[in-house]
Amino acid sequence: MAIYTTLKVYHDTYQLILDLFLFIKEFPREYKYSLGQDLKNISLELIKNIYLANKNYQKVAYLEKFLEQFEILKLEISLATDLKIISLKQNILLAEKITEIGKQINGWKKSLKTKT
């Protein structure tokens, strides 16, 4: 079992969280403490699920939880973009990271299912 901090998906997710937190700092007050706080909470849950998936034997359950929250995060980022809270340029940056993270998590999950 690898140390979770050495996993590429951990580093990519951590970078996504950093970017989100920086973007949320610039949210208008009206959205900072509602949509912004929800984005922060969900993104932190993602990193927790990577840790838990790496640590526990029931990895698939944590990866599925990750993917559920990941979909909600993508939906909320789309909403923020449509509301023009997140710029199109910021959305593109986040979308690239989200695509890469999604591939890694789905690959990890698929590799676990082929072992059973």
- Residue 111 is part of a domain; what is its CATH number? 1.20.1440.60
pTM: 0.92
What angle do the packed helices 8-25 and 35-55 form, to 10 degrees? 170
Express each pLDDT in 68-104 by its tens digit. 999 999 999 999 999 999 999 999 999 999 999 999 9
Domain that holds residue 67: 4-115
End-to-end CA distance of the chain: 17
Q: What is the pLDDT at residue 114?
A: 82
Question: Directed axis angle between helix 8-25 and helix 88-115, to 10°?
Answer: 150
**Range 34-53 burial, b when 16+ CB lie within 10 A, else e:** ebbeebeebbebbbebbebb
Locate 93 and state its tokens: 């940056």
Q: What percent of the chain has pLDDT over 70?
A: 97
Q: What is the crossing angle of helices 59-82 and 35-55, to 10°?
A: 160
Choice between 40 and 113, residue whose per-residue pLDDT is larger: 40
Number of domains in the chain: 1
Reference 1, options 65, 73, 72, 51; nearest CA is 51
